[in-house]
A = this chain, B = another copy of it.
């Protein structure tokens, strides 16, 4: 019996809970699909990876659909990856999420999942624009919301995949022309092939340690 199996000897069900990036992640070539391939190649049969992303979702959308889309599916682990739209919709619709409300709903989601004995893993939002010198319009705000998630991870002792930092580091090393898209994303937000592979690898590094 593998150490990765849960106490019931079954594969552990992991739900990726997020926005359009996660919605695309469950499709062919997406980061969830790639992670499945990775695990298959490494002969790790113990995970059942499930996408639960919906385009345009913000933290309170996750909150509102959590019971039906997540808890009712009885996952062992939930990976929460949200925040891009909470920031982006401020300028595109005027309906972004206040920083303090973002934190309240984020913590409320964690609380309800943990009350059901579901393990939670946090992920910071990656990028809105790939420029590596902090000159993408939302860089300041995205840093701020990432910091909120890092603080929650720290004070709640939860595993964190800090994609915001990892993407920035990658851009510094691999985006010499300071392009605003085309390195890890198609359009500055949604992952291209390289981006999906990068996310699959980085998320797995953290996910495999979740016990």
Q: A96 is contacted by which of B95, B105, B133, B134 (Cβ under 8 Å)?
A: B95
Report the nearest B residue to A64, measured CB to CB. Answer: B104
Q: Does the CB pair B135–A140 fall under 8 Å?
A: yes
Asked if A48 is an interface residue, CB under 8 A from chain B, the answer is: no
A128-151 vs B, Cβ < 8 Å mask (1 yes, 0 no) = 010001111111111110010000
The number of chain A residues with a CB under 8 A from chain B is 31
Asked if A98 is an interface residue, CB under 8 A from chain B, the answer is: yes
The CA-CA distance from A133 to B141 in the complex, in Å, is 11
The CA-CA distance from A135 to B146 in the complex, in Å, is 9
Asked if A94 is an interface residue, CB under 8 A from chain B, the answer is: yes
Of the candidate stretches A18-26, A74-82, A85-93, A191-199, the one touching chain B is A85-93
Asked if A101 is an interface residue, CB under 8 A from chain B, the answer is: yes
A/B interface sample: 21 pairs, CB < 8 A? A60-B60, A61-B101, A64-B104, A64-B108, A90-B94, A90-B95, A91-B94, A92-B93, A93-B98, A94-B94, A94-B96, A95-B98, A134-B140, A134-B143, A135-B140, A135-B147, A136-B140, A137-B140, A137-B141, A138-B141, A139-B139
The CA-CA distance from A105 to B59 in the complex, in Å, is 13
The CA-CA distance from A101 to B93 in the complex, in Å, is 13
Report the nearest B residue to A140, measured CB to CB. Answer: B139
- A95 CB to closest chain B CB, in angstroms? 5
Set of chain B residues within 8 Å of A139, measured between Cβ atoms: 134, 139-140, 143
The CA-CA distance from A140 to B90 in the complex, in Å, is 14
Asked if A175 is an interface residue, CB under 8 A from chain B, the answer is: no
4 smallest CB-CB distances across A and B, nearest first, come from A139-B140, A90-B94, A135-B143, A134-B134
Interface centre among A92, A93, A140 (most CB of B within 10 A): A140
Set of chain B residues within 8 Å of A141, measured between Cβ atoms: 137-138, 140
